[in-house]
Amino acid sequence: MDTVEQLRDRLLARFPGAGITVVANPSPAAQHSLLLTAATARDLALFLRDEPGLQFDQCSNVTGVDWPDKEIVDTTKVTLPDPAGGPPKVVEQKSKRVEPGCLEVVYHLYSIALRHGPVILRLRTANRTDSVTLPSLTPVWRSCEFQEREVFDLFGVVFAGHPDLRRILMWDGYQDHPMRRDYVEPDSYEWEPTPHGEVLAKARQHYPAPAAAPEAPKP
């Protein structure tokens, strides 16, 4: 099978300007991946599935990753003149900037026909708030259907073109996404039909106060 760099070059030869980036994995597994742009992701996926010699006909796994905003400290060296007339001094100046976060979806592909893989694809949203739409790859690999629904449910990624995009674990009307890093566990467990353990202790905080016992009649 081609290396991830060879596969990138092969895709770029077919789709010039597609904007494909190799994301290195420094772990011993060294399963490097390809970061695709949303605009060309589905065309590239179809090519990976249908091209002779590739035939990645199975998507085995789809998962999400939440990358929150990240504060980065940049350090630069600046040469300043010495007020006393001595040689100039080199000092370090630090500045802070915020790198916007995003939501990422990761796809693991295999070829059942040719018995090779995996190839790992990544898609990233523009941010974590109001631009969280990515193209669904369910029309390319049907096995993505439930797994994209799970990413939609737990991370909040909206998959354009998905045939049945709705929550799969949380109930309709739930307002949050439990796999996001800034998710705050609710304090109210009134929805739990049979609370127990720690859940019961929290649920009791929301139970109505017991009614006062009626006073005994005076003799």
Pair 194, 138 in one domain? no
**Is a pLDDT exceeding 90 seen at residue 94?**
no
* The most confident of 25-29, 43-47, 97-101, by mean pLDDT: 43-47
Does residue 186 sit within a domain? yes
Find the range with the poorest average confidence among 24-28, 105-109, 142-146, 162-166.
24-28
Pair 125, 145 in one domain? yes
Does residue 127 sit within a domain? yes
Does residue 136 sit within a domain? yes
Does residue 15 sit within a domain? yes
Pair 133, 61 in one domain? yes
- Distance, CA of 112 to CA of 63 (rounded, Å): 21
- pLDDT the model gives residue 102: 97
Burial of 74 (C-beta count, 10 Å sphere; 0-12/13-18/19+):
exposed
- pLDDT the model gives residue 193: 62
Does residue 95 sit within a domain? no
Pair 126, 194 in one domain? no
Pair 186, 142 in one domain? no
Pair 60, 146 in one domain? yes
Task: Return mean pLDDT, the chain.
Answer: 90
Pair 196, 115 in one domain? no
Mean pLDDT over residues 66-91, rounded? 86
- pLDDT the model gives residue 196: 74
The number of distinct structural domains making up the chain is 2
**Is a pLDDT exceeding 70 seen at residue 189?**
no
DSSP three-state, residue 60: strand
Between 89 and 139, residue with greater pLDDT: 139
Domain hosting residue 141, numbered range: 4-67+103-173
**Is a pLDDT exceeding 90 seen at residue 54?**
yes
Element holding 4 (H helix, E strand): helix 4-14
The pTM score is 0.80
Q: What is the pLDDT of residues 130-188, one digit of tens each?
A: 999 999 999 999 999 999 999 999 999 999 999 999 999 998 888 899 999 999 877 66
Does residue 77 sit within a domain? no
**Is a pLDDT exceeding 80 seen at residue 117?**
yes
Pair 186, 166 in one domain? no
Mean pLDDT over residues 24-38, rounded? 93
Pair 109, 189 in one domain? no
In this structure, the strands spanning 133-135 and 158-160 are parallel
Does residue 196 sit within a domain? yes
- pLDDT the model gives residue 162: 98
CATH number of 123's domain = 3.30.460.80
- Distance, CA of 187 to CA of 208 (rounded, Å): 15
Pair 113, 185 in one domain? no
Does residue 218 sit within a domain? no
Between 202 and 102, residue with greater pLDDT: 102
Q: What is the pLDDT of residues 206-216, one digit of tens each?
A: 777 777 767 77
Pair 43, 131 in one domain? yes
Pair 25, 108 in one domain? yes
Structure tokens at 189: 């467990």
- pLDDT the model gives residue 219: 65
